[in-house]
Chains A and B, each alone.
Chain A
Amino acid sequence: MLYIRDLRVSAAGHEILRGIDLNINAGEVHAIMGPNGSGKSTLAQVLAGREDYEITGGEVLYDGQDLLQMTPEDRAREGIFLAFQYPIEIPGVSTAYFLRAAVNAIRKHRGLEELDAMDFLGLLKEKMSLVEMEQTLLNRPINEGFSGGEKKRNEILQMAMLDPKLAILDETDSGLDIDALKIVANGVNGLRNSERAMIVITHYQRLLNYIIPDFIHVLVDGRIVKSGDRQLALELEQKGYSWIEQQLQGGQPVSS
């Protein structure tokens, strides 16, 4: 579904991603871990189409299409969803209105009829129970005055509503207490299926106790330096990222 080869990305003249290779198939959940500043969020943003970065090399194919040539909205309509690390506030635009505009933009692209207010509300209520979200949030401006947990639940709600093929979760666990984390993880797990792939970006292995990935990749200094299964996360939890960084500095080939 997603094929990334030697992806190189710079921002303000500084190279952030220095040759990423990654293959993701339908139904798989890949976790990307790494220390702060390793380029995890940059990868998420570039895949979603943020224009502030300069692509200096490599290619990304999504369902056989050249992803890097697509606008952010076309990527979203073709099924790429990014759960933001810091969801954005839009004053005066209610959550329900925002979501309906998004759902209908995507439905239109897929050749489906736009949902009217009643059908939309029905669908919304069904999906809200997935993330145990309060209905009163629907009429409030999106993300404005939401708590950290509410913002992240709102992201997962949007994911559920937009039914993506590839979901990228950027540090969805950051700033969540354990109860909120469980709710969010349950929401995500409820959306796992054989058609849908996910990239879960996290700093901590904690989240991976609840969302169990098929593969784990460790990103250090703009490169994937180690890949493995769930064992790798536990090892990282014990030894810290410095373990890998030391191995790299020692010039040893990294293997797990």
Chain B
Amino acid sequence: MIEVLSTLFALLGAFFITVASIGILRMPDLFLRMSATSKASTLGSALTLIAAMIFFQDFSVTTRCLATILFLILTTPVAAHMIGRAGYLSGVRLWERTITDELAGHYDAEARRLEGAAPTPSPAEPQPEKTSETDRFSPPSGRPE
């Protein structure tokens, strides 16, 4: 029974990791690839470690696997966010059928910071209040285009 259960979990984990690798090969865009791999690979590795927990049934193995699962769940979104931000700032082109790009116009290429260039404010929604740090580094008015 335990063997069947752990085999089932290991098969599911291998399946999800394989899905992540198919996603990184077939997706058309850096951000879509990242979205495919980060979630599916986290789920797959967590299922594989759960299979090891069920298989060994030892206290030390269980705590180690739980710590690894927690660490992966904490760090994989952080790493994906950092890579996505770095890729966007270094000029990776979006997919041509992308619907929204909420960061368009927000990046000041000369000052190399995201909130630098003020976008054209739309009349429907008010602009959010800028923090004092933003005001100190980039004055919103009197900036040459």
> Are A and B subunits of one complex?
no
